[in-house]
Amino acid sequence: MSIRAIKGTRDILPPASAVWNEIEETSRRVFRTFNVHEIRTPIFEETALFSRGVGEETDIVSKEMYTFDDHGDSLTLRPENTASVIRAFIEHRMDQIPGVKKLFYIGPMFRRERPQKGRYRQFSQIGAELIGSDSPTVDAETIELVDTLLKANGVHGARLLINSVGDPESRARYIARLKSDLEKYIGELSPDSQRRAVTNPLRVLDSKDPQDQPIVEKLPSIHEYLNEACTEHFAAVRRYLDDRGIAYEVTPRLVRGLDYYTHTTFEFLHGALGAQNAICGGGRYNGLAESLGSKVPAPGIGFSIGEDRLVMAVEEARGGIPALSLPLFIAPMTEAAFRKGALIARALRAQNIAVEVNAPAKMKRLMELANKANARHTLLIGDDELANGRYGLKNMQTGDQQSVAEADLATLLTA
Ligand code: HAM
């Protein structure tokens, strides 16, 4: 039997790969305009980084990690990148650089989830972390950055949900209240929520199980438990979003699936994605650095856009994947014509023009190949053309053909 790609992983082939590249180029350009610079961290890390950073009781750590033994060390393929970025931040003493440290990443993450449309076991995230400030101004900038990235990629109409999960003190009081409320209904909850009611009661709030909904609706809102500082932080974030004209929906049940969050959490949802409709998730994590051993506080906030889902939304916005197009196909009819064609190609490529040179063949065959390559122009070279130094340049859309000198080619092709 032939070997196939592993379940939940995929090959991205042309022309789809061109959409990925374009999205990454656009995103890098947007990051630069926000003074956010790239960090590249390893694909695997010590398992303890994620169990401590993301949280033992989360779905990610308790059942989705690809963990392996490496001669006695427990290592894990990164299921997300925030913990790694903070690890690098601490390791390289980035706290000593003044100002907010703004880092982005683009790359694969690994979670052993049940594969379905928009959900893979290897998927890619485009994310950023803004570290070193607990000011709500940075929360607003982070959310604005996501909004700008989505729109720069042509994705409009994503819904922004925001919430505050408070600081550890407010949250502890809220969790105590949730625990006691959930105890009353424990028998009516789904099996998953029964377990979470004990291990991680906040997670019951975003249960998708219809059985849990009537109970979830009866639970109090976390906003009733936020202290004054948390309430003011959240109000400031909303104020700064209002200033920017960024619309949002306050969603008290948005607690998110990772344990490191404090204060602001947010998600962007997109209609074209079906059940897996979160195109981006993020939030603030003021205590994460300390929980990973930092002696100095490094409050931060960040987000990750699911690139696979962004690609789906971009393709939907464009009505499909555009065919790759080629500026010039060189069609030589003889060996001598081919040798000249290769030199013409070499000169044009040096001027950044994409060119395909075929091996010598019959005219009919060459035109078929040029059409298949989606060439915008074809350059016909036969012995006559070689002799008089003028070539037949055919516009593949109109069918018009003109006789051109090599020196004029670049200008004609880039016009
Ligand atoms: P997350 O919500 O776990 O957050 O993931 C962020 C995004 O990654 C999701 O909204 C989704 O678009 C995409 N994603 C997650 N799992 C999959 C999957 N199995 N297949 C395809 N796409 C997926 C984080 O990862 C946090 N690190 C976000 C963050 C950064 N918070 C603060 N800084």
pLDDT tens track for 84-131: 999 999 999 999 999 999 999 999 999 999 999 999 999 999 999 999
Measure the CA–CA gap between 391 and 382, rounded to whole angstroms. 8
Pocket test for ligand 1, best of 36, 149, 304, 310 (most atoms within 8 A of CB): 304
Report the range of poorest mean pLDDT among 2-6, 147-151, 251-255.
251-255
Determine the distance separating the centroid of ligand 1 and the alpha carbon of 305, expressed in angstroms.
Answer: 7
pLDDT at position 415 over 90: no
Q: In what order do the strands lie in the sheet with 401-405?
A: 355-357, 326-332, 375-381, 390-395, 401-405
**Which atom of ligand 1 is least distant from the CA of 302?**
33
Determine the distance separating the centroid of ligand 1 and the alpha carbon of 53, expressed in angstroms.
Answer: 15
Determine the distance separating the centroid of ligand 1 and the alpha carbon of 81, expressed in angstroms.
Answer: 9
Mutual angle of helices 228-243 and 136-152, in 10-degree steps: 40
> Amino acid identity, residue 216?
V
- Over the stretch 7-43, which tens digit does the pLDDT of each residue have? 999 999 999 999 999 999 999 999 999 999 999 999 9
Determine the distance separating the centroid of ligand 1 and the alpha carbon of 281, expressed in angstroms.
Answer: 6
Contact by Cβ (8 Å): 165, 269: no
Kindly list the distances between the CA atom of residue 137 and the CA atoms of 60, 70, 81, 243, in Å, as whole numbers in the listed order: 30, 43, 23, 11
**Which atom of ligand 1 is least distant from the CA of 115?**
19
- The response to whether residue 80 sits with its C-beta less than 6 Å from ligand 1 reads yes
- The response to whether residue 279 sits with its C-beta less than 6 Å from ligand 1 reads yes
In the DSSP assignment, the letter for residue 67 is E
The residue whose CA has the least distance to atom 14 of ligand 1 is: 306
- The response to whether residue 125 sits with its C-beta less than 6 Å from ligand 1 reads yes
- Over the stretch 230-285, which tens digit does the pLDDT of each residue have? 999 999 999 999 999 999 999 999 988 899 999 999 999 998 788 889 999 999 99
Residue bearing tokens 């052993």: 112
- The response to whether residue 299 sits with its C-beta less than 6 Å from ligand 1 reads no
Determine the distance separating the centroid of ligand 1 and the alpha carbon of 402, expressed in angstroms.
Answer: 53
Pocket test for ligand 1, best of 10, 84, 87, 125 (most atoms within 8 A of CB): 125
pLDDT value of residue 175: 93
pLDDT value of residue 78: 98
Determine the distance separating the centroid of ligand 1 and the alpha carbon of 373, expressed in angstroms.
Answer: 37
Mean pLDDT over the full length of the chain = 96
Measure the CA–CA gap between 1 and 373, rounded to whole angstroms. 33
pLDDT at position 200 over 90: no
Determine the distance separating the centroid of ligand 1 and the alpha carbon of 180, expressed in angstroms.
Answer: 31
Go through 245-261 and write b for each residue having 16 or more CB atoms within 10 A of its CB, e for each that does not.
ebebeebebbbbbbbbb
**Which atom of ligand 1 is least distant from the CA of 125?**
8
- The response to whether residue 309 sits with its C-beta less than 6 Å from ligand 1 reads yes
- Over the stretch 365-396, which tens digit does the pLDDT of each residue have? 999 999 999 999 999 999 999 999 999 999 99
- The response to whether residue 55 sits with its C-beta less than 6 Å from ligand 1 reads no
The encoded tokens of residue 41 equal: 């961290």
